[in-house]
């Protein structure tokens, strides 16, 4: 397995731990409560559960297209994460509105977490399907961050979880203040 894939898998694991910790800090009885019209902790997780399989599908398609176009093997072994501004993704001072297709539909928190756990391996599978290609050359635009490589998209998925872990911690503080 390429060093960049190993790096990204470790990053995804670490950010899932951050998200899990934030989610588990919310008492189960409060996970579906939405303070002041914001998403509940369960809705935040459902949002991630909706987007991850979609991202995996996009990445799989881009990788298949790259393979068909004859993209060569990865030649860079330098760490990827320092080259991508992850803090920009995690930073919650700039609010972002999810597209309609990424809006939670009302799954219970426990079901949302299960859906997230089912969807997560799809991103790993997509990345592994291109492990023999120069995935830094395979691009797809992000509406806010512009063109991003497959590697950057996977890093984004981890940072997106960290961003929403921070959101869950904010929600918990609001719920506890009531």
121-146 pLDDT, tens digit each: 999 999 999 999 999 999 999 988 89
Output the pLDDT for position 36.
Answer: 76
- Mean local confidence (pLDDT), 158-165: 96
User: CB of 43 within 8 A of CB of 34?
Assistant: yes
User: CB of 64 within 8 A of CB of 137?
Assistant: no
Output the pLDDT for position 96.
Answer: 82
What pTM value is reported for the model? 0.94
Terminal Cα distance for the chain, rounded: 49
Share of the chain above pLDDT 70, in %: 100
pLDDT tens, position by position, 62-89: 999 999 999 999 998 899 999 888 888 9
Output the pLDDT for position 17.
Answer: 98
- Strands annotated E in 66-138: none
Residue 15 has pLDDT above 80, yes or no: yes
- Whose tokens are 């426990």? That residue is 110
Output the pLDDT for position 99.
Answer: 84
Domains in the chain, ordered, with CATH? 3-94+109-177 (1.20.120.450)
What are the residues whose beta carbons fall under 8 Å from the beta carbon of 142, sequence distance 6 or more? 148, 153, 156
Residue 177 has pLDDT above 90, yes or no: no
Q: Which letter does DSSP use for residue 34 in this model? A: -
pLDDT tens, position by position, 87-113: 889 888 888 888 888 899 999 999 999
């Amino acid at each position: 397995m390429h060093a960049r894939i190993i790096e990204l898998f470790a990053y995804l694991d670490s950010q899932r731990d951050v998200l899990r910790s934030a989610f588990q800090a919310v008492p189960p009885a409060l996970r579906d409560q939405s303070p002041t019209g914001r998403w509940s902790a369960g809705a935040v997780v459902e949002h991630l559960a909706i987007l991850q399989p979609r991202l995996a599908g996009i990445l799989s398609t881009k990788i298949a297209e790259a393979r068909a176009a004859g993209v060569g093997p990865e030649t860079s072994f330098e760490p990827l994460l320092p080259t991508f501004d992850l803090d920009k993704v995690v930073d919650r001072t700039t609010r972002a509105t999810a597209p309609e297709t990424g809006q939670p539909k009302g799954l219970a928190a426990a079901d949302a977490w299960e859906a997230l756990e089912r969807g997560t391996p799809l991103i790993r599978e997509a990345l592994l399907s291109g492990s023999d290609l120069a995935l830094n050359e395979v691009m797809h635009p992000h509406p806010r961050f512009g063109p991003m490589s497959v590697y950057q998209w996977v890093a984004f998925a981890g940072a997106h979880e960290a961003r929403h872990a921070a959101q869950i911690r904010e929600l918990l503080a609001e719920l506890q203040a009531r």
